[in-house]
Amino acid sequence: MNIIVCVKQVPDTTEVKMNPETNTIIREGVESVVNPFDAFAIEEGLKIKDVYGGKVTALSMGIPDAVQMLKEILALGVDDAVLLSDRKFAGADSLATAYALSLGVKKINDFDLIICGKQATDGDTAQVGPSLAEKLGISHCTYVSHIEEIGSDYIRVKKLVDDGYEIIELSLPAVITVEKGINRPRIPSIKHFKNALEKEVLIWTTADVAADSQLIGLSGSPTQVVRTFIPQYNKEIQILEGTPDQQAKDLMEKLAAENFLGCE
């Protein structure tokens, strides 16, 4: 079973601060980390490899700095790491990101399953996984909280939905995006650290993956960011007084007055 795990480098969210004037994330002095959801994706890949054998390859698109992150991922026991890095990839929205990743996947070629995080903690759209599956023309399932079973040509997963879960079977190859808590990510061991020291992170440019310049980076990104802002909620708190009966009656009246009860 050969697995590709998509990993994004993000700013450490415990540290995120917004610039109040531009409403953009202040990145200076903030440590970069593996997108927390992707740590679960890596662990899930390694767990499958522990049982079924095969290979796990980490794939990321990002700045050259992300090599350090990928080296640390190799020390977890991941077999290979690829970084798509080129100025021409910069400014990608989720569509252009999925396109670039799909080229990386095609160049890696030999895979049965792609695992993504549910979402990235900075961009937060949760679109890249499904878009990638569409670009590759394979099936996908989001919000996976457990892998139930893996067969020779299918995978059965538990998908979280609002009021419960669904069990979904996908034919392989497929893309799944995983929830936090699907597993408990391991810590590197010296054994894998030493293996990782022998390995190089592969860096692929736009030319290496023969990218169509119209589909990558800014020019490949139809998303226009008009404005980003921190939402303001106008909350108001009223405290009802009186006997419990009186309070219940007041509450019903107020809810009815605001049309919360669906009747006049």
Partner 1 sequence: MKMVDNLIRTSMQEYEEYLRDESRLAGTAQSISFPKDENEILEILAALSQDKIPITVQGARTGIAGGAAPESGHILNLNKMDQILGLRYDENLKTFLLKVQTGVLLSEIREALLKKTFAVSNWSQKSLDALELLKNSRTYFFSPDPTETSASIGGMVACNASGARSFKYGSTRKHIEALRIILVDGDTIFVRRGEHKTQGRSFIVKTESGRTIEGNVPKYMMPNVKNASGYYVEDDMDLVDVFIGCEGTLGIITEIDLRLLPHPKYIYCLTTFFTSEDKALKYIRAVREKEEKPASIEYFNHKALNLLREQKKSKPAFSDILDMPDHFHTAVYVEYHGDLEEAVTNMILEASKAIVACGGREEDTWLALNTQTMQQLHAFRHAVPESVNLLIDERRKTEPNLTKLGTDMAVPDEQLEEIIDLYNTCLQKEGLDSVTFGHIGNNHVHVNILPRNQDDYAKGKSLYTKWASEVIKMGGTVSAEHGIGKMKKTLLKEMLGEEGINEMKALKALFDVDFRLNPGNLF
Chain residues that interact with ligand FAD, rule: CB under 6 A: 6-8, 35, 37-38, 41, 60-62, 90-94, 97, 101, 116-117, 119-120, 122-129, 225, 228
Chain centroid to CA 2: 20
Beta bridge partners of 166: 159
Judged by CB under 8 A, does residue 47 bind partner 1?
no
Q: Which of residues 114-143 bind partner 1 (CB under 8 A)?
A: none
Q: Which amino acid is at 35?
A: N
Around 99, how many Cα atoms within 13 Å sit in the side-chain half-sphere? Answer: 21
Q: How far apart are CA 153 and CA 53, in angstroms?
A: 15
What's the Cα-to-Cα distance from 118 to each of 79, 182, 229, rounded to whole Å? Answer: 23, 11, 23
What's the Cα-to-Cα distance from 194 to each of 5, 46, 71, 141, 198, rounded to whole Å? Answer: 21, 17, 11, 35, 7
CB 238 to partner 1: min, Å: 35
Nearer to ligand FAD, 21 or 264 (CB): 21
Nearer to partner 1, 64 or 242 (CB): 64
Closest residue to bound ligand FAD by CB: 123
Nearer to ligand FAD, 77 or 129 (CB): 129
DSSP-derived secondary structure letter, 114: E
Name which position in 107, 188, 203, 215 contacts partner 1 (CB under 8 A). 188
Picked from partner 1, ligand FAD, none, the partner binding residue 189 (CB below 5 to 8 A depending on kind) is partner 1
Beta bridge partners of 10: 33
Question: Is there a contact between 9 and 32 (Cβ–Cβ < 8 Å)?
Answer: yes
Picked from partner 1, ligand FAD, none, the partner binding residue 190 (CB below 5 to 8 A depending on kind) is partner 1
Name which position in 1, 4, 6, 33 contacts partner 1 (CB under 8 A). 33
Name which position in 107, 156, 186, 199 contacts partner 1 (CB under 8 A). 186
Nearer to partner 1, 68 or 205 (CB): 68
Residue 85 tokens, joined: 């890095």
Residue 87 tokens, joined: 């100025």
In 3D, which of 110, 123, 126, 96 has the Cα closest to residue 218?
96
Judged by CB under 8 A, does residue 197 bind partner 1?
yes
Name which position in 17, 87, 106, 194 contacts partner 1 (CB under 8 A). 194
Picked from ligand FAD, partner 1, none, the partner binding residue 125 (CB below 5 to 8 A depending on kind) is ligand FAD
Q: Which amino acid is at 89?
A: F
Binding site for partner 1 (CB under 8 A): 12, 31, 33, 72, 75, 184, 186-191, 193-194, 197
